[in-house]
Amino acid sequence: MHHTARKFSLSVTAILASLLVTLSPHTFAAVGSLDLTTSGIGYFSLVLFVIAYLLVMGEELLHLRKSKPVLVAAGIIWMLLGWVYTQEGMPHEAEHAFRHTLLEFAELMLFLLVAMTYINAMDERNVFDALRAWMIRKGFNYKTLFWLTGFLAFFISPIADNLTTALLMCAVIMKVGGEDKKFINICCINVVVAANAGGAFSPFGDITTLMVWQAGIIPFQDFFALFIPSLVNFGVPAVIMSFFIENKKPDALDEAVEMKRGAMRILALFLLTIVTAVSCHTFLHLPPVLGMMTGLGYLQFFGFFLRKTLPGSLARKRAIAESRGDQAALRRLGDVVPFDVFSKIARSEWDTLLFFYGVVMCVGGLGFMGYLALMSEVLYTGMGATVTNIILGVVSAVIDNIPVMFAVLTMQPDMSTGDWLLITLTAGVGGSMLSIGSAAGVALMGQARGMYTFIGHLKWAPVIALGYAASIAVHLWINADLFVK
């Protein structure tokens, strides 16, 4: 994986975690005392947000960082709210709403930082590179590689997040596929669908599931009711696409990657951190971020151990390498630096984090004006929860699933557990229908530039849509009892 791709994946991992915390049901469900949906200030704020989001969508064309327009829009929207409420003799109501939103976002940010730090640490210890090298050395044929990368993406993404997983699998595909554009394109599509589907049944796999879990709407264990629908979402298009894979076998490549000391122990600590976060939320009814921050302490203690024992470890390895005359090993040992937790945090993509702050505050402000309550009545009351959730999943293929899910959580519609799981599923996998519909797809277009393209993905959109429909049908069937309030 390229360094920039890794850096981007880690930053998004953090973002996902943080955003989930932000969406506590008590945060944005409240509507202000004043209905501003038909006021000039309300219309102005709505237009301002749309313009800001259009600028975000044109980031590549304008070369304008996406955080700038939403930060300015968020500031103006809340200043207008403060001015209106002050004029009406309620100066503290808007202040309290803003502070509450900000507090929840800070909780989200801490969650994000821990998840990002662990993924960064495992990346620095060569965990992902070692897995990639193992797959490359095996010399699998194209069909085996197609299914292997798909299944690994599906089962790794619930823990490592869908973006990091997709980038890892794409690195393998690019290495083995060489100049075979058709094979690389179809494999990348399969990986995007698999990673998004795998992330849909785990709170740690995608931001949409994390948001719903952090909001306390669905217990951790109940998300696994989406396992079979998610598997169907991945399996249906994968089976169809597999018939178009040539039965070729590329030459096995001799690539060896040695994991650094402590790599597997850091992975174990990450799993322990997840258990701690889930236990805090499930058994102690405390925010999951408490468990995540405790897990950061685990990593810091282990980092201290690695630093203190580094000289002795290097001396032993250097003696062994010298006795064998292994010059390559001696060169590697000369590049070893002490493990530093905070250097991993410093690699974050802060523009992305600030972008999500802006989006959250903008949507929170519009919700406080009453727009989301109005939208909830039009959609969920007028059309019904199930139909609306299916439509919003399709919308997430064009509009990022994070603001879509954020808006739903802000609306707080009265839905059954089955419908909350449905919007979690559709918002999570709906983005697979277009390459620009998910972070995984966008990242892979950059990593496999010219090989995996928007048009190449669009050709398979009907097949992916078939998997989308099948997963919804399976969820409605096997989880029918969850749709009863």
Cβ pair 208, 193 in contact under 8 A: no
Tell me what pLDDT residue 334 has.
Answer: 44
Cβ pair 158, 195 in contact under 8 A: no
Average model confidence (pLDDT) for the chain? 80
pLDDT tens digits, one per residue of 258-270: 788 788 999 899 8
Q: Examine the pLDDT at 3 and tell me if it is beyond 70.
A: no
Q: Which two tokens stand for residue 289?
A: 């971020």
For the chain, give the percent of residues with pLDDT over 70: 82
pLDDT tens digits, one per residue of 190-204: 999 999 999 899 887
Q: Which two tokens stand for residue 251?
A: 């030459």
pLDDT band for position 333 (50/70/90)? very low
CA distances to 49, 359, 365, 375, 397 from 46, in Å: 5, 13, 10, 13, 22
**Higher per-residue pLDDT: 396 or 325:** 396
Most confident range (mean pLDDT) of 45-49, 309-313, 315-319, 341-345 is 45-49
Q: Examine the pLDDT at 42 and tell me if it is beyond 70.
A: yes
Global model pTM greater than 0.85:
no
Q: How many CB atoms lie within 10 A of CB 482?
A: 19
Residue range 115-138: average pLDDT?
A: 79
Indicate the DSSP class of residue 320.
H
Tell me what pLDDT residue 329 has.
Answer: 55
Q: Examine the pLDDT at 69 and tell me if it is beyond 70.
A: yes
pLDDT tens digits, one per residue of 429-440: 998 998 877 778
Tell me what pLDDT residue 436 has.
Answer: 73
Distance CA 9, CA 79 (A): 34
Tell me what pLDDT residue 449 has.
Answer: 77
Maximum distance among all Cα pairs of the chain, rounded to whole angstroms: 82
Q: Which two tokens stand for residue 17?
A: 């975690």
Q: Which two tokens stand for residue 475?
A: 């969820």
Cβ pair 368, 31 in contact under 8 A: yes
Q: Examine the pLDDT at 462 and tell me if it is beyond 90.
A: yes
Residue range 151-166: average pLDDT?
A: 84
Tell me what pLDDT residue 155 has.
Answer: 92
Tell me what pLDDT residue 470 has.
Answer: 97
Tell me what pLDDT residue 131 has.
Answer: 79
Q: Examine the pLDDT at 219 and tell me if it is beyond 50.
A: yes
Residue range 30-56: average pLDDT?
A: 87
Tell me what pLDDT residue 484 has.
Answer: 83
